[in-house]
Amino acid sequence: MLSVNHIRKAYFHRSVLKSISFEIQPGEVVGILGKNGAGKSTLLRMISGISSLDKGSISLFDTLIESGNIDPRKSLFYIGHAPGLYPNLSAVENISLALSLRNISSNEDDILETLKSVQLAKQVYEPIKVYSQGMLQRLKLALCELIPWEILLIDEPFTGLDTQGRVLTEKRIQDWVSPDKSILMVVHDMDWAISHCSRILVIHKGMIGLDEKTESHSDQIRNYYQGLMA
Amino acid sequence: MFITLLKKDLLLELRSKEIIISMLTFGVTVILTFAFSFNVSPDIMSTFAPGLFWIMILFISVLGLQRSFAYEKEFDAYSLMLTSPVDRGFIFLSKWMSGTLFLIITECAVALPFVLFLQLNIDVDLIQLFGVIVLGDLGIMVGGSLVSGLAMRAKMSAVLLPILMFPIVSPVLIAAVKSTVGLLNHDPFVDWQLWIRIMGSFTVIFALIGYTLYDHISEE
C-alpha cells in the first residue's frame, strides 16, 4: 500500500532523516515514536507531499508521491500538529473548502451533523481563530470523518485535548480501523501506542531503530523505548 | 479548481480586509508625502507622475503580497492546499489573479487623490490608461507571486520578498512607466508599443514559469 524507500532529509546541512524505509499494509495502525527532533513530523510531511525528499522515494499503490503527481494525494489525508486550516474562516467554511479541494460536494447539514458528533455544535460559524486547541482538534476529527481516505497521517492527535476530547479521539481512531484503511500517527505515549496500534516504528538517529508488531513484541518495544528515553 | 482557490483568496480578504486596508493606507500616505514634498508647477509634476505612480504601485504590491501569503502561513493553512489533490499551478494562478484584483481595487481608490493632490491634468483616453495600468499590475503581480511562493518558506521572507522581487519586476516597471509616459504625452502608439509588448511578454513568460514550477517551489 505505502512504501517508503531510503528517504533522506536535511535542513541546513543537518540530517534529520538519514535513511528511512518501511512498508505499510492495508488495515495497519502504525504508531511512530521517537525523541523530540527525531524527524517524526518531518516523515509525515514528506509522505503527505508537503516536504520534498532529498533522496529516496515514497509510493502509494505503486504510484510515486512526488511533485506534479496529484493522484496519490486523493487517497491520503494529513492532519498535522498545527491546525492546517484558515483562521479567518469558520469551521463550516474550512470544511467546505477542504471538501471542494477534493471535488467532493458539500452539504451544510452533513457538515453540521458531523461537527455535532465531535461535540463542536457551537461557534461553527465563527472564525476558528477564536477556537481553543481542543476545539481545533475536534474540528480535525470532523474533517477526518467527512473526507474519504485510505491512509490517514496524524501528528500528535491528543495535543491540547481534555479527558473527554481524548476519549472521543481514541474512539474515533478505533472506529476508523478497517481492513482496507491504514493509519500512521505520531504519538508520544508509548503505552497508549502499544495498546492501540498494531505496529510501532521508533525513529532514532535518522533511522528506523525499531519496527515491531505490538501483538507479539510489546515487551521488546517497551524495553527499547524506555532505554532510548533513559 | 482555479475558481475554488480564487474564491478562497477573495473570501479570506473579505473577512479580514487586511490586504486592501494596508495597501490603501500606504498609498494615501505616499500620495500625501509626494504632494507636500514637491513644490513644482503642474507641468513639471506631470513629467514625474508616471514614475511616482508606478513606484507607489510597486511598494503597494509588496505589502499586498506579503499579507496574502501570510494568510497561508497562519495556522499552517498552506498544508491544506499542498496535501489536497490540486494542481499546484492553480494555487499560483489564484494568488496572481487575486493579488492583481486587490491591486486594481486599491488603484481605483487612490487614483483620484493622486490626480488631485499632485494637481495633474489627465487628458487621455481613460480606457487606454486603465488598460496600461492593468497590464503593468499583471506583470508586477506575476513576478511578485512567483517570488512570494519561493520566499514564503524562508525565515526572513518579509525581507527576501522585496530583495528578490524588485530586480525581477524591474523590466515590467520600466515598461509600465514608459508606456504611461507615452500615453500621457499623446505620443503615437508606434513609439511606445515596444513597452507594451515587453510587459505582455514578461507577463506571459512568468505566468508559464510560475504555473509550471510552482509545484516544486511550494514544497518545504
Q: In this predicted model, what pLDDT tens digit does every residue of A141-173 receive, in sequence order?
A: 999 999 999 999 999 888 878 888 888 888 889
Question: Which residue in this structure is represented by grid cell 475554488?
Answer: B4
Task: Tell me the Ramachandran region of residue A204: left when phi exceeds 0, alpha when psi lies from -120 to 50, beta otherwise.
Answer: beta
Q: Identity (one letter) of the amino acid at B161?
A: L
Please tell me the distance from the alpha carbon of residue A98 to that of residue A100, in angstroms, as a whole number. Answer: 6
Contacts of A86 in chain B (CB under 8 A): 8, 12, 71, 74-75, 77, 80
Residue A67, burial from CB neighbour count under 10 angstroms (0-12, 13-18, 19+): middle
For A72, residues 6+ apart whose C-beta sits below 8 A from its C-beta are A49, A59, A60, A61, A63, A64, A65
Q: What is the rounded average pLDDT of the residues A192-218?
A: 90
Examine residue A103 and state whether it is found in any structural domain, yes or no: no
The CATH code of the domain that includes A215 is 3.40.50.300
Examine residue A185 and state whether it is found in any structural domain, yes or no: yes
Examine residue A163 and state whether it is found in any structural domain, yes or no: yes
Q: What is the rounded average pLDDT of the residues B208-213?
A: 94
List the single residue in B15, B77, B82 with the smallest CB-CB distance to A49: B82
Percent of chain B with pLDDT over 90: 74
Write down the pTM of the prediction: 0.90
> Considering only alpha carbons, which residue of chain B is nearest residue A71?
B85
Specify the DSSP class assigned to residue A129. G
CA distances to A170, B114, B139, B181 from B107, in Å: 53, 10, 15, 18
Residue B216, pLDDT > 90, answer no
Name the domain count of chain A: 1
Between residues A217 and B172, the one the model is more confident about: B172
Q: What is the mean pLDDT of chain B?
A: 92
Position A41 scores a pLDDT of 93
Hey, is B77 helix, strand or coil? Answer: coil
Please tell me the distance from the alpha carbon of residue B100 to that of residue A65, in angstroms, as a whole number. Answer: 33
Confidence of residue A136 (pLDDT cuts 50, 70, 90): very high
Q: What is the rounded average pLDDT of the residues A70-78?
A: 91
**Are the beta carbons of A87 and B77 separated by less than 8 Å?**
yes
Percent of chain A with pLDDT over 90: 58
Position A67 scores a pLDDT of 75
Examine residue A55 and state whether it is found in any structural domain, yes or no: yes
Please tell me the distance from the alpha carbon of residue B34 to that of residue A9, in angstroms, as a whole number. Answer: 50
Examine residue A200 and state whether it is found in any structural domain, yes or no: yes
List the single residue in A48, A67, A87 with the smallest CB-CB distance to B216: A67
For B117, residues 6+ apart whose C-beta sits below 8 A from its C-beta are B31, B32, B34, B35
> Considering only alpha carbons, which residue of chain B is nearest residue A149?
B84
Position B180 scores a pLDDT of 95
Task: Render pLDDT for A98-125 as a digit per residue (tens, 0 to 9).
Answer: 999 999 988 889 999 999 998 888 889 9
- Tell whether ipTM is more than 0.95: no
Q: Identity (one letter) of the amino acid at B205?
A: I
Examine residue A122 and state whether it is found in any structural domain, yes or no: no
Hey, is A206 helix, strand or coil? Answer: coil
Examine residue A220 and state whether it is found in any structural domain, yes or no: yes
Residue B20, pLDDT > 90, answer yes
Residue B131, pLDDT > 90, answer yes
> Considering only alpha carbons, which residue of chain A is nearest residue B2?
A101
Confidence of residue A42 (pLDDT cuts 50, 70, 90): very high
Position B61 scores a pLDDT of 95
Name the domain count of chain B: 1
Please tell me the distance from the alpha carbon of residue B50 to that of residue B198, in angstroms, as a whole number. Answer: 17
Q: Identity (one letter) of the amino acid at B15?
A: R
B70 touches chain A (CB under 8 A): no
- What is the extent of the structural domain holding A182? 2-83+148-229
Residue A109, burial from CB neighbour count under 10 angstroms (0-12, 13-18, 19+): exposed
Q: A-side interface with B, Cβ within 8 Å?
A: 45, 48-52, 67-68, 70-71, 73-74, 76-78, 80, 82-89, 93, 97-98, 100-103, 127-129
Position A224 scores a pLDDT of 85
- What is the extent of the structural domain holding B119? 2-217
